[in-house]
Amino acid sequence: MKIHKEGRRILFFTLLALLAVNLLLFRYNADNSGFNKVFAGISVIMFLILLQFFRSPARRLFTHEDLIIAPADGKVVVIENVQEPEYFDDMRMQISIFMSPINVHITRNPISGVVRYFKYHPGNYLVAWHPKSSTKNERTTVVVESEAGPLVLFRQIAGAMARRIVWYVNEGDEVSQGEEFGFIKFGSRVDIFVPLDTEIKVQIGEKVKGGQTVIAQLKTPPPSLF
């Protein structure tokens, strides 16, 4: 299993700390061997949970210029028309994917194109399913002019457990569908905003995989014959 680069430092120092505590317990608390064994077992479980959180599984990416691919693993929790106030200032279709602590937390470009807008917003840490988390929580906003033409906005949102958002894109960058654009540590969600005439391919409650599941199809003009 490959470990994501964002987790290697955390895993290394966590392992050192757990080993140090367990060695100290077995040396200076030898009379309480039962407690020491229980603590050792808990340490192993804690480390394995952390290890799976930072896993980076190999993915066969699915790409197509007019298809929106899931930017993250998780469950679809919102599909609705909303007013998007930050960039478009008009009505858009919002698709939200909730990422639990057991999901892979790599975030991927849902579409290929050029980054026309990027902004990081410090903020609160409301639970990720809270209606105001999209505008109140720590978050990043990325707008990509897709190769198919329409602009697509997607947003990393920190949750109650997520306390750090990492991103790898900036305005003017060319991005490829399915490639990593960031990482959210310890549970959160991703919002995608598309034009209202976009055809949605998923349903509320459906589980999706980042870089693989088609969540929507953009409506593009037919090619001109002249």
Per-residue pLDDT in tens (0 to 9) along the chain, 226 residues: 677 677 678 788 888 888 888 888 888 887 887 887 888 888 888 888 777 777 777 777 777 888 999 999 999 999 999 999 999 999 999 999 998 877 878 889 999 999 999 999 887 666 655 566 666 778 899 999 988 888 999 999 886 655 578 888 999 999 999 898 888 876 688 999 999 999 999 999 999 998 889 999 988 766 544 5
Residue 62 lies in a domain: no
Q: Are residues 48 and 149 in the same domain?
A: no
Q: Pull the structure tokens for residue 27.
A: 């040396």
pLDDT at 69: 93
Whether 28 and 128 share a structural domain: no
Does residue 124 share a domain with residue 171?
yes
Q: Are residues 175 and 95 in the same domain?
A: yes
Q: Are residues 48 and 85 in the same domain?
A: no
| One domain for residues 88 and 154 | yes
Domains held by the chain: number? 2
Full residue range of the structural domain in which residue 44 is found: 2-56
Q: What is the pLDDT of residue 131?
A: 60
Of the candidates 43, 112, 146, 188, the residue annotated as catalytic is 188
| Domain presence at residue 110 | yes
In this structure, the answer to whether residues 72 and 41 fall within a common structural domain is no
* Residue 149: DSSP 8-state: S
User: Measured on CA atoms in the order 133, 52, 165, 204, is the torsion positive or negative?
Assistant: negative
In CATH, what number is assigned to the domain containing residue 208?
2.70.70.10
According to the model, what pLDDT value does residue 208 have? 94
From 32, 56, 80, give the residue that closes a domain: 56
In a domain, 195, yes or no: yes
With respect to residue 191, please indicate whether it lies within any of the assigned structural domains. yes
Domain-embedded: residue 225? no
Q: What is the pLDDT of residue 221?
A: 65
Residue 222 lies in a domain: no
The amino acid that residue 202 corresponds to is: V
Q: Is residue 188 annotated as a catalytic residue, yes or no? A: yes
User: Based on the domain organization, do 72 and 24 belong to the same domain?
Assistant: no
Cα distances (Å, whole numbers) of residue 8 to 5, 12, 27, 134: 5, 6, 29, 29
* Same domain (yes/no): 52, 75: no
pLDDT of residue 114: 94
Task: Please check whether residues 95 and 161 belong to one and the same domain.
Answer: yes
Q: State whether 202 and 150 are in the same domain.
A: yes
d(CA 6, CA 117): 24
The verdict on 11 and 72 lying in the same domain is: no
Neighbours of 117 (CB within 10 A): 14
Token pair in block for residue 159: 């949750």
Beta bridge partners of residue 153, listed in sequence order:
143, 193
pLDDT for res 187 = 62
Asked whether residue 82 is domain-assigned, the answer is yes
